[in-house]
Amino acid sequence: MNEYQEFCELLFIAGIFEKVPYLNANLDEALTDESYLLKGERIFSLAREKKRKEQLKSQNLTVRLCDLKFPSLNHNEVEAHKQLSNSIKKFIRQEFKRINRNEKYSSIEDISFFYLFSNLMPTENLSINKLCTQTEIARVVTGSQNILCFNFSESDFYIPCIPQKRFRNTEYYFRSNPSITASIIHSDQIFLYLFLIHWCNYLILRSRREEECNLVLKQLLIKNTSALQMYNWSTEEMPDWFEQYLIDSGLEKRNDIYSPKELLSKTLRSFNHSEDIMKYLNIVEHIYTCKEFDFSTIVFKQSYPLVSMIYPLDAFILDTLKYYVSAIQNERLEQHYRKQVEGNVARAYTTKRNIPQHILTEMKTSVFNDYFDFVEFDADIEKNSVKDIADEFVKLNHRYFNDFKCKDTTFRIRKLGRHKAYGLYYMYLKTLVVDLRHPDSFVHEYFHAIDDILDGLSQKFAFCKIADRYTYLLLQTIKESEKDGTKILSKSGKYSLQYYLQRCEIFARCGEIYLFRLLHVESSLLKHPDTQSFAYPDDDELNALIYDYYSLVTKNLGNDKKKEE
């Protein structure tokens, strides 16, 4: 490579040049050995850059969640909601502890924490250490030096900043004067609701420009407001936003009535039959019209528990928080395993030095170059075996993957004995590695490549139902085996439960299930059903979800190819 070519390559990596002619030459043209190897290095450089950007994206989302230290979320939804609520409350209590307990504040402006939510709770409704009997009651009951007073609907509520005593969210009074009462609330309770509203409003703003976020909000909303689907809804004067909600919920239109597929006896002709229905509709309207929630979603009352949030808004917001926190935790877990794989023994994702000329010729002329941008073989491969695998891959890829091409991806055939794996896919590095002695690992790694190339299909909301069902079945299998005294998983090490529950691993395994169980595909590149382990659960509901999802994914692979043409 001459100096001019080196300069062009630097400009290409920096993103200044879109194309470098000699790097994009067709294989049937005179492509030098040096240029072909350099092509592999270019793919590696681009993959590294993508990895950096994805990690930055994950970090930014964490910052938007106030970088709270959420524990590994329980797979049980109710328990996960408790974990999330407790983590937020802990964060709030820590912020309140920053307030100097020995100093008496005279103005709300002296405490900056409250301004985090000033757009929801106007500071003019807040005061600190108000001179009144109620403040003294709050100090005696809670032991807090500083008392925050909040006025809402002509009623005052008192919040101890750093309580030193236990108390309930209720009204208190001095026995000497029962006529004067103070409604006292825990700070972490009211600010939990403020945090949830603040988070939900952030997602609503984001959903205006991001289709995936919009889908997440709508589908989780439908899950939490399913009670609305129990009625027959007249289309008379029905708002567009609610009609779209009913359509998204899977309801059918019959004679100007939207109703479930199985008709129910109860009929609702108007929107104002009950207070509960109005609460549900209020939430639906906000999400479908991208309208932010305000402070009115928090309900204050002069009776226990004094403060709450309109149902089911709290459950809905906690669901969205659970979805995104789980996504962050899954991303971190996958990064952890990637680092393990990348750091183990010889790096299978790097091109070996001093490749023999006859092997380099095989690499350049292999049919795999039609589907991958760079190909590398071990020096001691059997040419006939590689050709057999290549021919079988071409047929399999044509029949079930619509001749999908792995853009900017490297394919390597290596011996992986020391890696304790028969195949590897390096996410972000766009490198697929298969051990020639175990070609049945190919399809599993190929699904990893598809997942990565199509912008992380396993991380999208459309894959959630499969991931949730798979997780439930795997946990049940492990639980049943433990009852029998059988241990099928180690608590630590690479192949622990966390490894099997990674979304990317679930995606690859369910892809295999789609082929060998549902389409009855037989291939040396695919594990035989008889060799499958506990990690491939057989369940009617899961199988139905897999068939519908992967049928659509593989069909769209062909559509992507046509668009490029």
The per-residue pLDDT for 334 is: 79
The per-residue pLDDT for 107 is: 63
d(CA 190, CA 192): 5
Q: Interior CA angle at 217 toward 213 and 223, to 5°?
A: 145
The residues, any chain, with a CB within 8 Å of residue 184's CB and separated by 6 or more, are: 137, 138, 141, 142, 157, 158, 159, 160, 167, 169, 170, 171, 172, 306
d(CA 242, CA 465): 24
φ and ψ at 152, to 5 degrees? Answer: -145, 125
Does an H or E element contain 98, and which? none
As a 3-state breakdown, the chain gives helix, strand, coil percent values, each rounded to 5, of 55, 10, 35
Does an H or E element contain 375, and which? strand 372-377
Report CA-CA distances (Å) from 416 to 393, 419, 496, 504.
Answer: 20, 5, 20, 21
d(CA 340, CA 334): 10
- Contact between 459 and 213 under an 8 Å Cβ cutoff? The reply is no
**Tens-digit pLDDT profile for residues 416-474:** 765 556 788 987 778 899 988 889 999 999 999 999 999 889 999 999 999 999 999 99
The residues, any chain, with a CB within 8 Å of residue 557's CB and separated by 6 or more, are: 401, 402, 404, 450
Positions of the chain with pLDDT lower than 70, given as ranges: 1-34, 39, 41-67, 100-116, 118, 122, 261-274, 302, 304, 340-353, 417-421, 490-494, 531-532, 558-565
- Rounded to the nearest 10 degrees, how much is the dihedral formed by the CA atoms of 209, 210, 216, 217? -10
**Tens-digit pLDDT profile for residues 490-540:** 666 667 888 899 999 999 999 999 999 999 999 999 988 776 688 999 999
Whether this model's pTM surpasses 0.85? no
Strand partners, 516: none
The per-residue pLDDT for 302 is: 66
Contacts 24+ apart (CB under 8 A), 8-15: 9/38, 9/42, 12/42, 13/42, 13/45, 13/46
The per-residue pLDDT for 20 is: 45
The per-residue pLDDT for 471 is: 94
Strand partners, 268: 233
d(CA 226, CA 123): 37
In total, the chain counts a number of residues equal to 565
The per-residue pLDDT for 97 is: 81
Number of neighbouring beta carbons within 10 Å of residue 261 = 7
Angle between helices 211-224 and 313-343 (to 10 degrees): 130
- Contact between 410 and 432 under an 8 Å Cβ cutoff? The reply is yes
Q: Is the dihedral of CA 8, 9, 12, 18 positive or negative?
A: positive
d(CA 516, CA 510): 10
Q: Both ends of the chain: CA-CA distance in Å?
A: 31
CA–chain centroid gap for 230, Å, is: 30
